[in-house]
Amino acid sequence: MPTNQTFIEHPIEFVLPRVFQIGTYEEEYEKLVVKYELGLLEVSNNDLKGAFEKLNSMYEEMHAHAEYVGMDIDGVRVWLHFFWNKDGTIAYLGYHLRPNSRNIDLKQFEVFLLSFIQVYRFPLLHEQPYSLYTSTSFPPYYKKNTAHSQAAK
């Protein structure tokens, strides 16, 4: 039977949460990886020391933000995938607790991460968005190591 309707296939777009656990939203995550293909080191003109210092500074800011909002993240070990906008704001943040991490409430952790990315701006501007997949633990190692070195003096 003829019909006057035209059927157009529309892909169903799912809005990816700004903070998500790696392993969920696989299809959207893969799209992000393609869109944010430039890495932090490349955007930093291969300045490993400069990129490392900026990254460690961000971890210290994350730790300070956790203390500010009353979230205890000491002992948390986590894989993080940052997706930065051109202006250094964090568009998306994927996370997954490492097996040797302290157990925490993941919903509360997501709320904390969301509150952090809403106020933090990474100090690196670029003409294209960029990303970094990394691992860290809290309190930040660099901060712990620096404090230990200063105490030894």
> Residue-wise over 41-76: b if at least 16 C-beta within 10 A, else e?
eebbeeeeeebeebbbebbbbbbebbeeeebebeeb
Q: Taking residues 15-40, what's their average pLDDT?
A: 94
pLDDT classification of 27: cutoffs 50, 70, 90: very high
Is the CB of residue 131 less than 8 Å from the CB of residue 77? no
Q: Give me 55's structure tokens.
A: 């990254």
Report the number of distinct structural domains present in the chain. 1
pTM across the whole model: 0.83
Pairing state between β 77-84 and 90-97: antiparallel
Per-residue pLDDT, 142: 64
Rg value, the chain, Cα: 19
| pLDDT (tens digit per residue) in 48-83 | 999 999 999 999 999 999 999 999 999 999 999 999
pLDDT of residue 133: 98
Q: Does residue 71 lie within any of the structural domains?
A: yes
Domain assignment present for residue 28? The answer is no
Whether 75 is covered by a domain: the verdict is: yes
Report yes or no on 59 lying in a domain: yes
Cα–Cα distance measured from residue 49 to residue 108, given in angstroms and rounded to the nearest whole number: 33
Count of helices and strands (H, E) across the chain: 5, 5
Asked, for residue 8, whether it belongs to a domain, the answer is no
Question: What local confidence, expressed as pLDDT, does residue 141 receive?
Answer: 72
Model confidence band, residue 5 (pLDDT cutoffs 50, 70, 90): very low
**pLDDT of 77-133, one tens digit each?**
999 999 999 999 999 999 999 999 999 999 999 999 999 999 999 999 999 999 999
Range of the domain at 124: 39-152
